[in-house]
Structure 1
């Protein structure tokens, strides 16, 4: 915030200096001696150069401030809500790879044989192959399943939550017709399931905070940038 304010102030000052340099060039110098004219031209060039430098610094400060603002908005620590959540620990069915379709014991599996390819983090309007979603869970990602007829309020909240990351792990969301009757959302991590009868952003946030980046195959952020097959 402070960097942004400083950047804006520098932009204002640099604009003033550009105007000053323009005025120095525009003024009538006909009665001045050659040396005085040269001195004024040099002064104008110096003013413009200083204005260029200040503007460059200002732009950098504003960009840094914007990145800091975005970073703090999706700081995983902000999801550390003091709210109780009920999480089921599921059977671990392993994590082998297969290019073939897999028949899972669970309708919304949290482990098991899966595709060698994973998916990018983010919100999906259509459900991707389950085999790929399970691969994401293996890397410590969080998966939020929503009903195809979910309200716009729920959709907007989920679209906010899928921006959170920790190390090389992130959040995905997809629709599913396999959500149990009476439940609005199901949230999965590797061998972990939370079902909610009523959508609760804080409970989902707490689940993300407690379970993200805890899969059996964790990959650093500099290698796994945003999910997707490496």
Structure 2
């Protein structure tokens, strides 16, 4: 720092000293203001990261809860010989054929079918019957519903009942009940999605029962309207 100029005039010298003091005070105030600005900036940054962290944790928790609440119901493969009221049982052929087939059941619970099987999954359109029957042969369950009677929350609840794999859910024209659940050579017809026999039927016949090709792939041709 250059030496402070001295004045022979006491009044002038006092004025010079006052000016220097004011300049020093102003610089100190400026430094203090800058420090406070930087401090507030760091505090805002920390707060932002806290908010981001909390939001991220809540998002993970929400995903976990949703995966539990909305996950498809779990079932155990295989049959235990349970007796379920209303289940119809048949003895049916399993030939591979070409073209359309006239089935005795509606929807069919087995019988001659196309050599190509339908990919399992949820569909919002009716599916080619002969291909869906082949999926039954592989141990899948086929949940069909009247689209005029099963809609909205009931339809979502019905879809939620389907196993994660080896299941087909699709609308079906001409049902005589709102919902029909079918496995190879076994079938259950019910009036409401909350009928406890639906999960009972799936538990008994999904990946079990009398399926001739149990455990074969359920990834085949894709029908229309797969979700």
TM-score by length of structure 1 reads 0.59
User: Please, what is the CA RMSD of the aligned residues?
Assistant: 3.9
In structure 2, the residue matched to 1:49 is 49
Q: Which runs of 5+ in 1 are unaligned?
A: 1-28
Contact (CA 8 Å) 2:120, 2:165: kept in 1 or not? no
The structure whose residues are more often helix, as a share, is 1
Q: Do structure 1's residue 130 and structure 2's residue 124 form an aligned pair?
A: no
Compare CA radii of gyration and give the structure with the larger one: 2
Superposition deviation, residue 145 in structure 1: 4.6
Match of 2:201 in 1: 207
Report how far residue 189 of structure 1 moved: 0.6
Count of matched residue pairs: 183
Residue pair 1:168, 1:219 contacting (<8 A) in 2 also:
no
Aligned to 2:99: 101
Match of 2:43, SS state, is helix
Query: Hey, what does 1:161 align to over in structure 2?
Result: 158
Deviation at 1:70, TM superposition (A): 0.9
| TM-aligned CA distance change 1:54 to 1:165, over 3 Å | same
Unaligned runs of 5+ in 2: 1-28, 76-81
1:177 is the counterpart of 2:194 = no
1:213-224 matched pairs, under 5 angstroms: 213-214=207-208, 215=211, 216-218=213-215, 224=219
Matches of 1:166 and 1:193, distance apart in 2: 17
Judge conservation of contact 1:163–1:170 (CA < 8 Å) in 2: no
Asked whether the 8 Å contact 1:161–1:205 carries over to 2, the reply is: no
Relative contact order, higher structure (CA 8 A, sep 6+): 2
Shift of 1:170: 2.0
